[in-house]
Amino acid sequence: MASIKELPRWEDEVYQIARGDKVEGGVGGIANMQAKTLAERTRYLKNVVESIPDYREFTFYKTENDPEGKLAGIAETHDGQLFRVAQGIDSENSFIYYRNDDGDAVPVAWQPGTELVKILSNLISDQGDNPFSVVFDNGLSPLGYKNGRLYADEFEKLYSSDSGLEFGGSIIDNNPPEGWRFVIYYRNGLVMCGQKDDGTMIGFGEGGSGGGSIEPGDTAPDYDSIRMYSGTATVRDVVGKRAGGRFVVNPDDTTSEEIPGGILVDVLGRRWYRQADFVSYDMFLAPRIPAATLLSVQVALAMGNRSSAIAYLAGVEAADKAIQAAHRFANIMKIPVRQNDGAFLMLVDHEAEVRTNTDLSGAIILTSANSGVNEIRWGPLRLLDPSAPEPMRMFNIKGKPRIELTAEELATFNATYSKYLKKGSQYLPYPKLYAYYGGMFYALSHEVEIYRNGERNKPRDRVLYREFSRIGKNGALTERIVKDIPDGTIGYAAIIQKEDDFLEFKCPHFIELGDSRRFLNIEVSRPMVRIKNLVHTSWQTKEGANKQVISSQADSLIKISRIWADF
């Protein structure tokens, strides 16, 4: 087998085999041209690298005739070149680097060896229980780590960046906001203690000394101990299996309504905020379906006795208000909602507004004969039936507000820019869009594109021309327009802002029992939503079943995974 004969040269281009080329081997054959070019480039680079003086380190060793190894290094290097001499395994240094200075070996650097590492290791071991302390020559140890704590006994002052110091989620801000001399607050912005410019002390005990007092609350799962409190402490703990937690006074809030379990208002009008990385429905005293009742419902359903299952739920308290409160507080604090066990009955009389990540996997939500409404509600239909009643919803996932064009803006758009809404176009130079790169533009014409079943009298049987596309830069659209929208006919248009991140909603197991009850389990009113682990079991009869589990607006982007429906 013959080998490719390469020369050390650089070719600027590598030949690309064309469709019409006859692929042949041999010298000069097209099949070997690319390999030959790359081989010659490699040979060229090898020669260049090996010609660099510092390509290899010049390493020399001590001998009887050359006890320092410097003589051999000087003999083998040129003026100005570096070489190194191995020092042996018992030396603190592994190598000493020298420069050939006109025949003299001048030391310029050294590399630590294993012996030096052993010395440092022994020094650390000699510290005993405090291995990472800093000890001065006089024996003082100003900084160290012992028993899980970092201490600084001898520090006179401690300096930090403009961000301040953070300890376990509490921040000492050395650049406090206007109106404050200093302040210590939690990561979510609630003040733990501080002093205002007018001398007002926040969060300190009697006489302005000591930190914010912590007084245990009741062991019962309620919050009356805080509501009835009139003392000076600004931090209190409520102890309870599911509802317990820490509450801190927010001195800047004097107007918020109480959210039971999240914001509590005491007899002095102070607002106590729950401190938490997430909240659950239990924290807001959502009544669970008792275990015995839930078992009876499950047995009745297993036997096909739906009416008995509904009867068992007749005396169960609904959890709607607590669930709505949990999400309302989570939205204020921008924290997740997690409820991974328990069963809850919902009447679906008001919707829970969801604006943060929610994990309900493991929980069960049941609806019964009193849930929702006993009528079909499709909801308002823009331009065609805007006054239709809203459907009832369990959860409504919302985000940034949509920016709707005013009547004046619509008139300008129709006169100047609606002509760009043509099939295949990716250009819409409407200036209002430029500030919303990455969002979506939605336009709805008042002209009818399709009549369902030929029906021309019912508004909901009319399908209007509509279009939406993601907003690019400087008038560009990232998706092509797919229809020719009649010029000057846009009756509604809006910009749907890009969200900062995806919102994830992990579903509970939805179980529906009541016949002829109408509601939506989830409505998605924002883009960038992931709905996961949806399990929906309906025991409604086919004639009256509520089949619409998820509703999304036409301009929302949602991703749904793991859906199981049982009808």
pLDDT value at residue 70: 86
Using the predicted structure, report yes or no on whether residue 103 has a pLDDT greater than 70: yes
More confident residue, 178 or 211: 178
pLDDT value at residue 218: 40
Separation CA 63–CA 70 (nearest Å): 10
β-sheet bridge partners, residue 273: 248, 263
Indicate the range of 22-31, 214-223, 267-276, 460-469 predicted with least confidence: 214-223
Indicate the range of 77-81, 220-224, 241-245 predicted with least confidence: 220-224
Using the predicted structure, report yes or no on whether residue 449 has a pLDDT greater than 80: yes
CB-CB neighbours of 54 under 10 Å: 8
CA distances for 436 relative to 136, 431, 474, angstroms: 59, 10, 10
pLDDT above 70 as % of the chain = 78
pLDDT value at residue 565: 41
H-run or E-run covering 561: strand 558-566
Separation CA 426–CA 420 (nearest Å): 9
Beta strands in 212-363, from DSSP E residues, in sequence order: 214-216, 235-238, 245-249, 263-265, 271-275, 337-338, 343-345, 352-354, 358-359
Using the predicted structure, report yes or no on whether residue 219 has a pLDDT greater than 50: no
> Model-level pTM?
0.62
Mean pLDDT along residues 357-371: 93
Residues 6 or more apart whose Cβ sits within 8 Å of residue 493: 404, 405, 409, 410, 413, 441, 442, 443, 444
Using the predicted structure, report yes or no on whether residue 555 has a pLDDT greater than 80: no
Three-class DSSP category at 251: coil
CB 259 within 8 A of CB 272: no
More confident residue, 148 or 479: 479
Using the predicted structure, report yes or no on whether residue 519 has a pLDDT greater than 90: no
pLDDT value at residue 174: 63
Give the end-to-end CA distance of the chain in Å, rounded to a whole number: 71
Q: Which two tokens stand for residue 154?
A: 């001898």
User: Please, which pLDDT band fits residue 529 given cuts at 50, 70 and 90?
Assistant: very high
β-sheet bridge partners, residue 532: 506, 561
Which of these, 417, 447, 540, 440, lies nearest to 494 by C-alpha position?
Answer: 440
pLDDT value at residue 54: 54
pLDDT value at residue 215: 45
More confident residue, 394 or 44: 394
Using the predicted structure, report yes or no on whether residue 553 has a pLDDT greater than 70: no
pLDDT, tens digit, 9 for 90 and up, residues 121-176: 776 666 665 555 666 565 556 666 666 666 666 555 666 665 666 665 566 666 67
What integer best gives the mean pLDDT of the chain? 81
Phi, psi of 166 (to 5 degrees): -125, 130
CB 280 within 8 A of CB 326: yes
Q: Which two tokens stand for residue 209?
A: 């000394």
pLDDT value at residue 516: 66
